[in-house]
Structure 1
């Protein structure tokens, strides 16, 4: 049978509300330096780079900074050019829930310029709750009815009702498995506080930061909560705020509508090879036809319309996946037996840990509606507004039944502070559409500059491959040269 699991997709100016008075930003921070040693085996870097890892203690609850401590594992690729070194550059790859220990090495392997490697010690980490940093678990398995951090496509109101029962059980299971009381403390604000503890442990006065996808929310949070210690901040592929809320999740459907035409144009130009349509319009029709047929009758391997839509959505993250996506569509285009190789191509399997952290942070950061009818209305609206994927991202999530209420308001972004926030955004991005970059730019005001690329996919700097964006961002990180105005980079 088809293994129904999805991937946890990959990602504050002063304190807000009453909490400002009760949580000192760096109360009781340790002055002990990290003890660098070998990293876990799965943390690899391209030669001749070398990586080391260490653990930094942080409070589980920042209201009680001297209470229970947890350890955050960080990695370091140290600059080998002391005459060029200007500090540390922290990374977050997104999620929330994505492991980040290997992120500096991953980007170095993809072409992170040598000038950046010379200028900084590159610092990766597993944020709290993730991987090697006090990991948490809801107990998800490969055969769960809940199989992705994005809700499944709801074909009608009854499907929303059925999903409500599934996510209610998920929320209860997470609460039952939280025997050490850690889940409530997984928030973007606390992760930002952890970043500053790591900064202090490293003996640095300032922090430079690169965050992608959800990492843009974490970076926006740090730049706002700790503006005095935030130096050069790069926010790539933006969710539009310091947290993922219901409006942000529903924007996934907008991203799908804006990005699928790029694949449709690509596939139409290759009709003789894939047979998915001679025009982009015909390719779009092929998608809807396959999805709706699978809604009615799942394929022989168990794949249904919801999973087919999810696989298509996730495959739009990078143009390099277009060929594989076209082959998958070919496999399911006609009713009948699906070749066994097609099954393996569409069976992503995230970790229980990644999915747990995604839920905890998303549900803890902001209030979510609890009324099922609210989600049924939204699904009906977005099915019409965004027919490709709207009835998925508007569907109900476990946050509707989450045990814990947010412990503090979501942190507001302010335009007060140094102009050191560089926002990068592709025009077409399936999960963080251009609207998210514009929202973040508007909130930061003159603190930020927005660089947009006429490109398609998720990820702009290094991974996106646009020369203009690469040069502008590298110049900013190395020399501090911020664009004088918002800039659009043409497609290479």
Structure 2
């Protein structure tokens, strides 16, 4: 596989939807000892799947499908662990909370967990899991048509003229499929339900308290868990943070792309105009933005056939969606530049390799259920059209998509409970880490969460670009602050900026 193909595959995969050990006190030691009989209730076996650390083992925790009826029907939550590498230094369990919604962390103890420094791996059992509905947990699927799995369709990109009529039709079609094929579990997938599942995992592990590292959407899960079960939290790291308000007219994560793109495009433009860059697009950074907008508009009018892709054409919205995917990691800038260069000549690169369709179906179903069940969305075409019209003028790079109609505009179920309100009440044991330029969870969203948490949190802002700060697209200063907190419990005395 060429570098170009690898970069394209990374973009496709991203579309399916980051000190010295302190001695244990007597109380900490007590926290690490499971209550008699609880730990033994888990049947740990060797995990299935390629590339896993041989130490990783898996089990299933049974949880209520509906937490409002704890004695009712049960579903399975698949969990995994790699035990502390130094039992005498063990403090407890570190939950690795995935993004998404719809992401999996079952293999995370073998993956990103092994990037953690040794003193952190000594301190914790690393715990991964598939959230309810995902993967090896009791899964769901909407059974969508192949064409409806295209991210440029799942994200509500308006028509070239700005109309949301097709978005509304898509929302109804996808919603009908989820209602017909998703089963009863679709009604019970939400952020609050996942947070309650985490406490069932904690209980099954025999831990009085748990620590957690949540990334992207996982920061919202971590914040909700900390709100619902503050006395069960130990050290909480929230990495690449979402706005904590889920009940705005457009759910905050989607609207955030407007500012996220504006924060990130100058970095891409600087890279794409650098002398010596083999994928150089323009002589100056100032030329890159109008170049991109002209090309997107041309592709709106004259799409280029793209056999093997989904959809099988490169149109303006596919280009815009590729931009969003690329901006999650600056290492993928070449893929976007190469696509632009090819499109300017009327050609396309090889079609990107997509994840297995079964994975796409699963991730899409869980994502739709979570976002739509968390809070009620408007159902009026006029509401979305008004928002799109305003957004297209102010944020032309995203062409109105962040204000358009997702599947939630036609969702058949009402939220089962009000959204959990994040507040500043609770223990002061949360560390936020945030890249300054993040397309999906921009700094403005993190600052909103920081303000909401008040004295419960301290924030590390990292002068870096990309989604996922800690041990990913951040820098050494930010990584060091988070690692020190996880290993020792010591946070910076105040909010800090890592240049």
User: After TM superposition, is the score higher than 0.5?
Assistant: yes
Deviations 1:421-471 (A, max 9, x none): 111111111111001110111111000011101111000000124111111
Which residues of 2 match residues 10-409 of structure 1 at below 5 A? 10=17, 33-42=41-50, 44-45=52-53, 50-109=55-114, 111-144=115-148, 147=151, 149-158=154-163, 160-179=164-183, 181-241=184-244, 243=246, 246-248=250-252, 249-270=254-275, 273-301=278-306, 302-334=313-345, 336-339=346-349, 341=350, 343-344=351-352, 351-409=360-418
Shift of 1:274: 2.5
In the alignment, is the contact (CA less than 8 A) between 1:138 and 1:173 conserved in 2? yes
Question: Pick from 444, 448, 459: which aligns with 2:457?
Answer: 448
- Structure 2 gaps, min length 5: 1-7, 19-36, 307-312
In the alignment, is the contact (CA less than 8 A) between 1:192 and 1:218 conserved in 2? yes
- Taking the aligned partners of 2:127 and 2:455, their CA distance within structure 1 comes to 28
Question: Pick from 406, 430, 437: which aligns with 1:428?
Answer: 437
For the residue of structure 1 that corresponds to 2:198, the secondary structure is: helix
Shift of 1:281: 1.4
Deviations 1:171-201 (A, max 9, x none): 011001133x111100100100000010011
In the alignment, is the contact (CA less than 8 A) between 1:33 and 1:203 conserved in 2? no
User: Against the structure 1 CA distance between its residues 8 and 347, is the aligned structure 2 distance closer, same or farther, given a 3 Å change threshold?
Assistant: closer
- RMSD over aligned CA atoms reads 2.4
- Taking the aligned partners of 2:355 and 2:68, their CA distance within structure 1 comes to 42
Find the counterpart in structure 2 of residue 24 from structure 1: none
Shift of 1:370: 0.7
For the residue of structure 2 that corresponds to 1:182, the secondary structure is: helix
User: Against the structure 1 CA distance between its residues 291 and 219, is the aligned structure 2 distance closer, same or farther, given a 3 Å change threshold?
Assistant: same
Shift of 1:152: 2.1
Deviations 1:193-229 (A, max 9, x none): 0000100110000010001010000000001100000
For the residue of structure 1 that corresponds to 2:230, the secondary structure is: coil
User: Against the structure 1 CA distance between its residues 209 and 412, is the aligned structure 2 distance closer, same or farther, given a 3 Å change threshold?
Assistant: same
For the residue of structure 1 that corresponds to 2:278, the secondary structure is: helix
With structure 2 as the length reference, what TM-score do the two structures score? 0.88
With structure 1 as the length reference, what TM-score do the two structures score? 0.89
- Structure 1 gaps, min length 5: 12-28
Deviations 1:81-110 (A, max 9, x none): 11111000001120010111012222145x
- Taking the aligned partners of 2:171 and 2:179, their CA distance within structure 1 comes to 12
User: Against the structure 1 CA distance between its residues 418 and 222, is the aligned structure 2 distance closer, same or farther, given a 3 Å change threshold?
Assistant: same
